[in-house]
Amino acid sequence: MSFLPWVAGFVVLLVGVLVSVALHELGHMVPAKRFGVRVSQYMVGFGPTLWSRVRGETEYGVKAIPLGGYVRLVGMMPPAPEGRGRGSGFFSQMIADARDQSVEEIHPGEEHRAFYNLPARQKIIVMLGGPVMNLVIALVVFGILIVGFGLPTGQPTTQVGAVSECVPAAVVSAAQGEQECTDTPVPAAEAGLEPGDVITSYDGVAVTGWEQLVGLIEQSPGRTVPVVVDRDGAAVELEITPIATEKQVSDDDAGELVTRESGFIGMSPMAEIRTEWYEAFPAVGQQTWDTMVMVATLPPRIADTARQAFTAEERSPDSVTSVVGVGWVLGDIIALDAPWEDKFAAILSILGGLNIALFVFNLIPLLPLDGGHVVNALYEAGKRAVHKLRGLPRPGPADVARLTPATYVVFLALIAVGGLLFVADLVDPVRIT
C-alpha cells in the first residue's frame, strides 16, 4: 500500500496553512504599520526560528512548528494606572509581569507608537484585519472553484445526468422497498438518450423546465412519443415509450392519496451548475453560517468526537477534526480513483473551508483570540463615550492586563482541545472512501 497520497495530502495542508497564516498575520501588520504602531516581529509558525531577516524595524521569519503565526505589536498592554502597585498575590504578579513585558518593548520616546494608544476604531481595524484576510482568501478560492468547475445548486435541469441501468422491481410491481432489477428494458436507454443530452421537446411540446418535463412524462404511460434533444449543439430526434406505473398522488378534492397511472422512462437530471464569480458570496456566506453554528455547539461536538474515537462507536463523517484529520482527508481525496479535476476541486473546497473556519474561530470574543481584542476595544470606546456624555475626564486605555489570567485559561483550554482532537485523529481519523 502506497503512503504517497497521504504524504501529498499533508504537504498540501502544510502549504495551505502556511499561506493562510502568513496572509492572516499580514492582515494585522499592514494596518498596524499604517497607524504608526511599531511591529517588531512577523513570524509564521511557532517554536525555534528556522530563518529570519530584519527589514527596517521588523524581523520577518519562519519558525519550526507550522501551525500558526504571530505579529508582535509593540505596546499591546498599557502600563499600570498611576498609584497602583504590583500586588503580592499570584494573579497580581502575573498581571504585573505582563504589563512590564509590554512596556519594556516600547523604545524611549516612542510611547505614542504603542498599540494601546490607538483610537478604539483603529484597534478594531487592526485586529479584524487578520480574520477578514482569511475571509477574502475563502472568497477567492470559492470564486476560482465556481468559475473553473461550477457550483451545483441542487436544482434539476432538463439535461440528462444519468440513464438507469435497469428498471427496479418497485417500478413494475408498485411494491414499496423493492430495489431489485427486472428484465424490463429501460425506456430512456432504448430510445437512445445519453448523459449530456438536453431535452428540448417532448411529445411536440417545447420543454422549458424539469417540473414541466416530469409532468409530460407522467401523462404519457405506454404511449410512444417523439422527443427532441440537443446533443453537442445538434438537434436529435428520438422516440420513447414510457413504462406504465402506478403512482400515489394527493386528491385535491378528497384530500386523500389516490393511485393513478403514470409514465416512467428511467433517467435522472443534471443539477444546475452556476459559474458566475459573484456566486462565491452566497456560497461563502452559507458556509460561514454553518461554521458559526458548529462553533456554537463545539463542546458537545468535541465530547462526541472523543467518545467515538476512544470507543467502538463509529466516527461520524462530520465530527470535529484537527489539522491532522484534515491531512488524512486530503490524502484520501488524492488517493481516490477519480478525475484529477474533481480531486483538485475538492482540495480547493477544503482549503477554502479551512480559511472560513479561521475567520469564525478568531472572532470568538475571548482573549488571546482576535475577537477578544475587538471586544476590549469596543468596551474602551463605550466607556469613553459614557464619560464624554457625563462630562467626565477622558479615561485611559482599557486595562487589558487584568484579563491575563483568563487569557492563560483560554490558551490552555485551546491546547487541551487541540491535543484531544490530534490524538483522536491519530486513533480513529475521519476517512473518505
Residues tagged active-site: 25
The CA-atom distances, in angstroms, between 340 and each of 3, 48, 153, 271, 345 are 18, 37, 22, 21, 9
Residue 154 belongs to what H/E stretch?
strand 151-163
137 three-state secondary structure: helix
Q: How far is CA 11 from CA 125, 144, 327, 352, in A?
A: 33, 21, 8, 16
For residue 77, the surrounding DSSP H or E stretch is none
Q: How far apart are CA 27 and CA 128, in angstroms?
A: 8
CB contact set of 371 (below 8 Å; sequence gap of 6+): 131, 362, 363, 364, 365
Alpha-carbon distance of 352 to 355, in angstroms, equals: 5
User: Helix or strand or coil: residue 236?
Assistant: strand
Q: Is the peptide bond before 368 cis (omega within 30 degrees of 0)?
A: yes
- Please state, in angstroms and rounded to a whole number, the distance separating the CA atoms of residues 387 and 120: 15
Whether 147 and 156 have beta carbons less than 8 Å apart is answered as no
Q: How far, in Å, are 28, 68, 94, 138, 202 from residue 410 at the CA level?
A: 21, 16, 15, 27, 64
> Within its chain, how far is the Cα of 361 from the centroid?
11
Phi-psi region of 36 (alpha: psi -120 to 50; beta: other; left: phi over 0): left
Q: Provide the 8-state DSSP code for 333.
A: H
